[in-house]
Every structure is written in C-alpha cells, then in structure tokens.
Structure 1
Amino acid sequence: MSHIKTILTRRLYSTAQSDLKTTLKAVIPERLQLYSHVKKDLSSHQIGTQTVGSVIGGMRGSRALLWESSSVDPNKGVTFHGLTIEECQAALPKSKHESTDPKSEMLPESMFWFLLTGKLPTQSQINTFSSELAHKGDLPEYVVKSLDNLPKTLHPMTQLSIGISMMNNESVFAKAYAKGIPKTDAWEYVLDDVINLIAKLPALVGKIYSNTYYSGKNLGTINMDKDWSYNMASSMGFTLDDSVNIKDLSKSQSNDFVNLVRLYCALHGDHEGGNVSAHATHLVGSSLSDPFLSYSAGVQGLAGPLHGLAAQEVVRFILEMKNAIGGDINHKVKIEEYLWSLLNSNRVIPGYGHGVLRKADPRFTAMIRFGDNRAEEFSKDDNLQLVKNLSAIAPSVLTEHGKTKNPYPNVDSSSGVLFYHYGLQETLFLTVIFGASRALGPLSQLVWDRVYGLPIERPTSVSLKKLAGL
C-alpha cells in the first residue's frame, strides 16, 4: 500500500507541475509583448531619478552605490584610489625576498592595504602583514573534514563558497554582535574577520584544488616566511619548497608562476562596486551578516557564467581556434575568416568587450607585459602568441561587424592562457583563483560600510505594468 501511495503522490505532483507550466506558458507571450514595448519605446522615459532603460537593463549607469577603493573609467580603465595599474606596480611593495627583482610583482596584500586605507604601505609594514596572514593561514579541522566529505564532482566554486561559509563559525563580529556592541565599534570586529578570511584563502584554494583533481593529496603547506600568493601556489603544488611539484616546473618557472598569481590577484582584487561579486558582498553585508557569509554570497555571484567564467572560456576558444586554423597562428586571413565565422553564427568572440570600458583593458596590457618580460619562456607558446595576434586583428573585425560598443580585449583574453602555460590546465579552476583575489576589494569596503554605519540596502521595485503606465 505504501508503494502505491508513493506512486499516486508522485503522479499528483507531476500533474500539478504540468498544470503550473501550462498556465505559465499561456501567460508568457502577453508579458513578453509588454516587455518588448517597454524596452523599445519607453527606455528613455524617467521614473523617479532613473530611466526605464536603467531599471530593466541591469541598473547600468545608475549611481547608487558608495564605493571607496576603485573606479572604472570608460577610457582609463580601473584605478585604485586614483592610481593606475602601472603606478601601483611601481609603488606597492613586493615580496621581501624579491624586493629588488624587476620581474617581481606587487603583492595582493599590498593592494589590500592600499584599498583599505588609501595609504601606500611601506615594505616593513607589508613584511609584517604577510607574516600575519601566513600565521593565520591554516584551515580549521572541521573545514578540512567537511571539504573532504563533499562529492568530488562538486563544482570548485561551490566548494569555495561552502568553505568560506563554514568559517562563519570563527566570526568574532558575529559573536560580538550577539553579545551587544556599539555600532561605532563594529568595524574593528569586521576587520578581524576580514583578515582571518583572507589569510585562510591560500590553504582553502589549495585544498579544493587537491580534492578536485588530486584525490586529496597534500600538495603543499603554508610557509610562515612567505607571502600570500606564494602560499597559494605552494598549497596547489606549484612551488619547489615545502610542496609536491606536481607540474614538474623549473625553479624559474615556479617563481614566475608565483609572480603570475601575485599580479593576477592584485589586478582582480577590486573593480568598483557594481559588479556582481562586489555588489552581492555589499548587499548581504548590509544586513550585518558577517564577512564570511557576505563574501560567500559574492563567490556565488562570481561563479555565474556572465561574471567569473570568462577566462576559462577564452582558453577553450584559443585552443579550438588554433586547431581550426591548422596551427597557422600568424595567418591574418585565416584568423579573420575564423572570427567572421563565429560572428555570422551569432556567437561572440570570448575575451572581447566590456560593460564599461571603451578602450583596451589596461589589465590585459599588464598581463601581456608579464609575458613579454619573459620573452624566452613564451616565445614558443603558440597560445599566447595567438592571443597577441588576435588582439591586433579582432578589434577591426568587431568594428566592421558593428554590434559591439567595445571591440577591444579585456583581461580575460590573456590571463587564462598564461596560467595554462605553467600547467594550470584545469580551466574550471581559474575562477577559484579569481574568487580568492576578488576578496580584497569587497571585504575592504565591508569594513568601511561598518565605519560609516551604512543602512541595510533596500531599493524600491516596480512592476512592468507600472513602467508601461498601465
């Protein structure tokens, strides 16, 4: 009887679901027709202080979010407290072990310090801060055990979000708030959580990498004398000291990989506040959720294909393109024909275009310069050479095509290919490194949200009929 009841219950639920879909399908055409009318005919109409087009177009152009640390100009690209990428590279401290090496890159912890304070840190201050992060870098045992028990097929970004959420158990802000603290003191507890979270990201990234691709093998440890990026590379098995050199890199290649992590994470740390990961962190944090829960939400936003997955798409695209043109990476006509075949099939060229920029992304330029500074290493890398050739050819093709506002390469055009060169060929994992880097900006802003005592974010919504004046 129990079995029959289960079958009947399932049929009942299936019928209900079918009725719901049928009803919805009947409603959709009329609603789409109204939406098309609003989008086509009413986008320029004002509703309050906004246009209708902004309301239905992802709030683009709406200045409605306080953000201190960075801004994105259509022509200049991203600046950090007014400094360009090149100015930051010149001014921000490097690893204490490589402070005079011209190939050594600025440290992400230097960028975090700058984003948070607006003041350039000294080498001594960063040496101490790097050490603090390393000493706080081990994962709690319950996080390790929980990650080990997750399905090995679980998406790495889901694992990252879970790992960060679980460390909410460590939140000093949550504990202090539960006891009752003055609002004016909240930022200090938030800062403690932020530093603790950032400190544990290298080990968390390494653990997820190991569990996903190397059956949980211990690939490396946190070195107390090294910087944040080094420890991330070490935890993933890409360094020669205190780790398993799973990629069989030479010493110079290992050093270069560490510097690639440094550059990538510093550049991706912040990109003003309107992007999904930054805004999601700010939004959840506005409810006074602690930094672990807030940034876990940001990571989930970053996992979306329209936000954080572009670098892996570019790698796949470059490999497919190289194969399609028979490896003739310098053949301009073949490259152009391939690009037109994509566009004529209503596909996009991955790594090109940007929601704000109207020039080549300076982050792309910085990543290409990283490769150019290692010309001997990359001279025989057809993938990177194809990326560079493509950046000279694609803009004119896209301009002629006429359907993009920005025909220039963005940072994703180059970053994934550089990681691929050094052996990080599990392209799904590139977004996890992005997730570690993006913590720097939104979490520094979260501290300021509490300094200012910003209220919970609560915009007013509006129906499509109201927009249409019905």
Structure 2
Amino acid sequence: MALTDVNPYPDLHCMWPSEKVRPFSLYGCQQKCFSSSQSSNLKEVLDELVPQEQKRVSEFKKQYSDTVIGNVTVDMIYGGMRGIKGMVYETSVLDAQEGIRFRGKTIEDCQKELPKAKGGEQPLPEGLFWLLVTSKVPTQQQVDWVTKEWNNRAHIPQHVVTMLNNFPNQLHPMSQFSAAITVLNLESKFAKAYADNVHKSKYWEYIYEDAMDLIAKLPTVAAIIYRNLYRDGTAVGAIDSKKDWSWNFSSMLGYDNKQFIELLRLYLTIHSDHEGGNVSAHASHLVGSALSDPYLSFAAAMNGLAGPLHGLANQEVLIWITKLIEKIGENPTDDQVKQYILDTLKAGVVVPGFGHAVLRKTDPRYTCQRDFALKHLPNDNMFKIVSQLYKIVPPILLEGGKVKNPWPNVDAHSGVLLQHHGMKEMNYYTVLFGVSRALGVLAQMIWSRALGFPLERPKSMSTDGLMQLVKKQPTQQTQEKAKAA
C-alpha cells in the first residue's frame, strides 16, 4: 500500500493524521471511530465496540486484500523472522524511534491521562487494561469497576493451592507460575462453551470472561509462589475489596510500603505489552489461534517469557552489576566502570540491559523508571551505578561500530528498583513481569477472537528449497542495476 497524506478509507468518519507521510493505521483510527460509551461495565462497552470493529476490518480486508505491504529477504528468514510484517496485533505498536505506544498512547501519555489511586502518582493497571481493550482512556468510575470485578474474581481453587504448596523449592518460580496457570484452565468458560458447540460469533465473550478471571487470579498465584519460596510458606491473606489490583498484590507479597505499591503500579503498567512480535505475545497469539483457551495460551506465553533472551534479562542485568560491585566496589569511578565494561566486551560477553531488537533509542520504559528513581532513591548506590552505565556504555558500544542500538532497555533498570525496596530475590522478577504481560496479551486475545483471526500457519522452507527459490529470483542488486540501466 502506498504511503499517503489522504485518508484511504473516506467512508470511515475518523480524523486522518496531518503529517504528510503516514501509513493507514488500524489502531490509530480506532481511537476516533469507536463509540464513546460511558458505561462502567467493560463487557457492555465491548458489546458496542465489537460489531463496529468487525465491520470496519471486514471492509478494509475486502478493499485491500491484494495489497502488498512488504518484502521478505533471506536474511529475515534466517534472522528469526526479524522485521517481517506478518500478523495483526491491535493493543500496542512499537516504533523504533518513539518506543511503545499503547493504543496510540506513549508511556508519558498514560502517566498523565490514566486514572490513579487516591494520593498516587502512577497510573492504575486497571486503567491501562481498559485502554488496551477499548482504545479509550477510562474514567475513574470505569477503572473502579474493573478493580471491583477483579477483586470478585480472584478466588483460587484449592487443588491449585495444594499443587503450589507441594512444589519442591528447587523448582524455578516461572515453572511454578506456568504450571499453575495451565492447571487453572479447569476454570475456563471458553473451553466449556466450545465443548458445548457455542457459535463462533460468541467466542470473544467467553474469552473475555476467562481473561478477566485469569488476570484477577494471577496476583494470588504469584504471591503464593513468593511466600512459599522466600517467606517460609506464610499465608498471603485475603483480597481486600477496598484495595486496587496492585495494592492487593503488594500486600499479599508482604510489602505494605506506599512507595513500593506505587512502584508496582508503574511496573505492572509499563511491562504489560510490547506489540505482538515479542516471544511472549507471539506465543500466546499463536497458541490462541488454535482455539486453546486463555489459560493454556498464557501459560505458553510465560514459558517463552522465562527465557534468558526475554523476561530473564532483568535478572542477568543484576547479576552483572553485582559482579561489577564485587570487583570494583559500590562507589566506582567512571574510569573504573569504563574499564570493567571494556573487559566484559573483550571477554566476548554483551553488556546486559543495553540494546533492543527494534528500538533505536533509550527505551521509554527505562526512562520512566529512571525518573522514579531520581525522585525516590537518588542516593541508592546501585542506582548511581546504573546512572554511570547510562552515561558510559552507549559511547563505548558506538565506538565498536557493530551495535545498532547502544541505548538501555527496560531490563537495565527494573531490578535495581525492586532491590532497593527489599525484593532481592532475582529469580522471582520474571513472575512480576508475567503478571503484567497478561494485561496486553489477554486484551489482544479478546480481539483476536472477536475479529475471527484464523489458525496461524506460516510456510516454512528447507535451506535447499530456499536456495532453489532464490536462484529463480533476481537479487536486489540486479534489480537496481536494471533500473539504473
């Protein structure tokens, strides 16, 4: 599809961006096209939105079904499908220069516009979930409704509690988390409805119910794991109907410090979604396309998140910083830090927390965490080291000439904030990430079923087959020479 400054879909009464070059954007147009229901019941709002979006997408597909939107190179195929435009993911988009946008909203936008707890400064994750599902910034009443719903749905079946209590302490927290989510699928309303031959037009309604139930239960599951492993199996207590989702989670973990609760609200908001191509989001999207219920699909996402190249990265950062402190002390000079970085690179080891597969600037999720630290813990020794790394690492990586993005990502900061507030169990950090990621991938799953997305089944090729195909195709250099001639 050609880039244009003219609305290519004039029948839709939505504002078109004023920039001269801007591709047609499904998610960007949603903000203007969706109705503005003031109901505080999320299901009622979706009942209005789903038919509108089904019609809009159907008409778009009909008009542009044959439009070519990109090329695939051999390097992309061997490079993990990096950069291939191959799926629709509505809830967030990652821009290389701007960072993540949740339904068109930057993190800074979300911090300003989303409702907050009374006396709080950080957005409530309940509000972000409403935004991800509807593309609309919710009112305080709508956010309060979500909080109440999640508090009412948070019960954990006894057989799941028993299973968690019987896991060996050596079993990684993420393995326990994934297993518990899988077993929770006995509660799946979608699985029961599918077995009863519910019409596919109703799939999204049961996915919605499962998504709301699962998100509500995750903090309790995660807190039981934490208490069993690190607090001698003490009880997590009951859900307090007067507390929001993050506050209840913090209390069940055993942290009642207001600053930690605010940090958790920020953490659960910014880690919620990072468009559909990352491992956890793509895993849930892929497994969900087989009509596996949200519990099974989210468990798959968590198994992907548990990998060291994805959710475990924040743990890798802390391990590296801990080794740095052991070698050069808690208050190193810039020269000492620089030499340690150079020694790390000479040993063939990457500096964890720097670089990103898509981003080409400092991760906005890093920036908002840095702002939090500057305000609340400016004199923390580990934060000071993180600040030194922020200043010293990028120029060194740029001098090497091989790094496309030398800037810090979200993992470079999150662990240090948790350490400062007393949560020093690094193995557990990815579970917090997982609780947050549910907001994004489950919001998307509601829309995947509402829009009738099919089974995901890309075509694979062998190396021999790919070589034969390439021989039949003119290379880019050949095409350029032909044009020049």
Bucket of the pairwise TM-score, normalised by the shorter protein: 0.7 to 0.9
User: Does 1:75 find its partner at 2:74?
Assistant: no
- Residue deviations 1:163-184 (CA, integer Å, cap 9, x gap): 1111101111110111111111
User: Does 1:213 find its partner at 2:216?
Assistant: no
What is the CA-CA distance between 1:49 and the residue it aligns to? 4.7
What is the CA-CA distance between 1:328 and the residue it aligns to? 2.9
> Contact 2:360/2:405 (CA < 8 Å) preserved in 1?
yes
Distance in 1 between residues matched to 2:451 and 2:291, nearest whole Å: 13
- Residue deviations 1:355-388 (CA, integer Å, cap 9, x gap): 00111111100001011121xxx23310011101
Q: Give 3-state SS (helix, strand or coil) of 1:469's partner.
A: helix
Structure 1 counterpart of 2:344: 342
- Residue deviations 1:316-357 (CA, integer Å, cap 9, x gap): 11121122223333x111111110000111111110000001
Q: 1:86 aligns with which of 88, 104, 108?
A: 108
Q: Give 3-state SS (helix, strand or coil) of 2:94's partner.
A: strand
User: Does 1:436 find its partner at 2:439?
Assistant: no
- Residue deviations 1:177-229 (CA, integer Å, cap 9, x gap): 11111111110010000000000011011001011222321144321111111
**What aligned pairs does 1:185-204 form with structure 2 within 5 A after superposition?**
185-204=202-221
Amino acid at match of 1:305: P
Q: 2:271 aligns with which of 268, 271, 287?
A: 268
Structure 1 counterpart of 2:320: 317
Structure 2 counterpart of 1:414: 413
> Contact 2:188/2:293 (CA < 8 Å) preserved in 1?
yes
> Contact 1:222/1:234 (CA < 8 Å) preserved in 2?
no
Structure 1 counterpart of 2:462: 463
What is the CA-CA distance between 1:270 and the residue it aligns to? 0.5
**What aligned pairs does 1:84-163 form with structure 2 within 5 A after superposition?**
84-95=106-117, 97-98=118-119, 101=120, 104-163=121-180
Q: 1:62 aligns with which of 63, 67, 84?
A: 84
Distance in 1 between residues matched to 2:97 and 2:370, nearest whole Å: 19
User: Does 1:227 find its partner at 2:249?
Assistant: no
Q: 1:179 aligns with which of 172, 196, 208?
A: 196
Amino acid at match of 1:431: T
Residue identity (%): 47
Amino acid at match of 1:312: Q
User: Does 1:285 find its partner at 2:279?
Assistant: no
Q: Give 3-state SS (helix, strand or coil) of 2:286's partner.
A: helix
Structure 2 counterpart of 1:40: none
In structure 2, stretches of 5+ residues that fail to align are 1-69, 470-485
CA RMSD of aligned residues (A): 1.3
Distance in 1 between residues matched to 2:181 and 2:174, nearest whole Å: 11
> Contact 2:268/2:435 (CA < 8 Å) preserved in 1?
yes
Distance in 2 between residues matched to 1:152 and 1:341, nearest whole Å: 36
Distance in 2 between residues matched to 1:436 and 1:393, nearest whole Å: 33
Structure 1 counterpart of 2:34: none
Distance in 2 between residues matched to 1:213 and 1:327, nearest whole Å: 26
User: Does 1:52 find its partner at 2:84?
Assistant: no
What is the CA-CA distance between 1:462 and the residue it aligns to? 0.2
> Contact 1:280/1:294 (CA < 8 Å) preserved in 2?
yes
Distance in 1 between residues matched to 2:261 and 2:164, nearest whole Å: 25
- Residue deviations 1:263-297 (CA, integer Å, cap 9, x gap): 01100100000000000001000010100000000
In structure 1, stretches of 5+ residues that fail to align are 1-47, 240-253
Amino acid at match of 2:265: R
Structure 1 counterpart of 2:395: 396
Structure 1 counterpart of 2:353: 351
State the aligned residue count: 400
Amino acid at match of 2:328: I
- Residue deviations 1:213-270 (CA, integer Å, cap 9, x gap): 223211443211111111111111112xxxxxxxxxxxxxx11111111101100100
Amino acid at match of 1:132: E
Distance in 2 between residues matched to 1:204 and 1:94, nearest whole Å: 25
Amino acid at match of 1:264: Y
Distance in 1 between residues matched to 2:356 and 2:77, nearest whole Å: 20
Structure 2 counterpart of 1:11: none
Distance in 2 between residues matched to 1:409 and 1:221, nearest whole Å: 38
Distance in 1 between residues matched to 2:155 and 2:242, nearest whole Å: 14
Amino acid at match of 1:259: E
> Contact 1:220/1:237 (CA < 8 Å) preserved in 2?
no
User: Does 1:297 find its partner at 2:319?
Assistant: no
